[in-house]
Amino acid sequence: MKESYIYIVTNFDRTTLYIGVTNDLIRRIYEHKNHLVEGSFSDKYNCEICVYYEKFNDINQAFDRETQLKKWSRKKKENLINSKNPGWMSLVNDNEIINIDDL
């Protein structure tokens, strides 16, 4: 099966969080950074920085996890991000994904 991801992106002020699912994390973050989906939530709020992700072997598990996270409070989402990426550094560059478990 093809791997899939849930991810959280934020803006430069860290005031807005967007949660999504993709099967190509590098491509999807590139789309966010370059505002390729004009008028979307992430475009409107400038969510370009991937601060959290989880990898799945089953896309249905990724969708289930996305649904779960979207129901969480802002504080709970922040705690999740801080547990793996306390500096909220960008985890996806143009050609690489930083291993979140190595932080």
Residue 70 resides in a domain: yes
pTM (two decimals) = 0.95
- What's the CATH code of the domain at 79? 3.40.1440.10
In total, how many domains does the chain have? 1
Residue 51 corresponds to which tokens in the numbers above?
Answer: 């601060």
Residue 103 resides in a domain: no
Residue 33 corresponds to which tokens in the numbers above?
Answer: 């950074």
| DSSP E strand stretches across 3-91 | 4-10, 17-22, 49-56
What pLDDT, in 10s, does the model give residues 9-41? Answer: 999 999 999 999 999 999 999 999 999 999 999
Which residue, chain included where needed, has tokens 């289930």? 64
Residue at 6: amino acid letter: I
What pLDDT, in 10s, does the model give residues 42-96? Answer: 999 999 999 999 999 999 999 999 999 999 999 999 999 999 999 999 999 888 9
Could you tell me the residue range of the domain that residue 90 belongs to?
Answer: 4-98
**pLDDT at residue 94, rounded to an integer:** 82
Q: Is the pLDDT of residue 1 over 80?
A: no
**pLDDT at residue 52, rounded to an integer:** 98
